[in-house]
Amino acid sequence: MWQTEHVAARLRARHPGLAIEIVGMTTTGDRILDRPLAEVGGKGLFIKELEVAMAEGRADVAVHSMKDVPMDLPPGFSMQPFGPREDPHDAFVSPRFARLEELPPGAVVGTSSLRRECQLRRAFPSLVIRPLRGNVNTRLAKLDAGDYDAIILAAAGLKRLGFGSRIRGTLTQALALPAIGQGILAIEHRTERADVAALFAPFVDAGALTAATAERAVGQVLEGSCDVPLGAHATVDGDSVTLEAFLGLPDGSRLVRERATGRAGEAQSIGESLGRRLLAAGGRDILAQLSAMP
């Protein structure tokens, strides 16, 4: 809702006469909080109801965190980034410990992201990783109640909601690559609505668009979803883009990671090529193991 209010405010500022109605919806992903997303349907649980509303004409656009959007949109829908990217990294939050490295063996860390779990288990095998679902307030409340020694959340979400002071530090890219599209706001609309696309075109940030294109191209090659521990991050510097991505098993026992650099205008092909390199480096075996898991 914060993201939607932010988008609405930016639209009103640019188009003072534009009438905007916010239609709040609670999605399946918001309602099912007792199980990891990978067990109940993945990222699509956060957006399906919104797409139905657009298809039925009850809404013109949907506002998403791009990291929650499946790699392939349904036919007839398009998406574009909104504004520049916020901090894409994962944040370490703990009332007792200043750094992830300070956690003692057996400390309990909360996250329901298989991507985070894979990287944390690989770097800190002595930690106990436990599921953590709910909105940001709920997760922080569980931390403060002592259910966890620390939790890992997206830095962007904490900052946008005014909880930036809770961040003890962000995980380095060397330790934990973020989710595809993390920190990027996205606008989804029906492809046929050229008028909507034109309305939001001035808010498309070139750097965010390049990063999103490269990262999502990796995900499309690697079948990226909630049940695949996968991360990617693109750094854009002028006309140059550097992309890093990894694929692994939830327990951290296997992980492949690759890096590529190229021109920003070739972001799609850079991402696709890097995805194929990951598959060749062991990613195919990892995906086969993931498919065989109960």
Q: Which domains does the chain have, with CATH numbers?
A: 1-85+182-204 (3.40.190.10), 90-170 (3.40.190.10), 205-294 (3.30.160.40)
pLDDT of 44 higher than 70: no
57-109 residue pLDDT tens: 999 999 999 998 999 899 999 999 999 999 999 999 999 999 999 999 999 99
Whether residue 60 lies in the annotated active site = no
Classify strands 150-154 and 108-110 as parallel, antiparallel or unpaired: parallel
Give the integer Cα–Cα distance in Å for 179 and 92: 15
Cα(32)–Cα(35) distance, integer angstroms: 7
Q: Is 222 exposed, middle or buried (0-12, 13-18, 19+ CB in 10 A)?
A: buried
CA–CA separation, 25 and 5 (whole Å): 14
Query: Which of 34, 68, 87, 239 is an active site residue?
Result: 68
pLDDT of residue 12: 94
Render pLDDT for 148-172 as a digit per residue (tens, 0 to 9).
999 999 999 999 999 999 999 999 9
Model confidence at 33, in pLDDT bands (50, 70, 90)?
Answer: very low
Predicted local distance difference test score (pLDDT) of residue 49: 83
Half-sphere exposure of 241 (CA within 13 A, CB side): 26
Res. 268: pLDDT tops 60: yes
Rg (CA), the chain: 19
Q: How far apart are the first and last CA of the chain?
A: 35
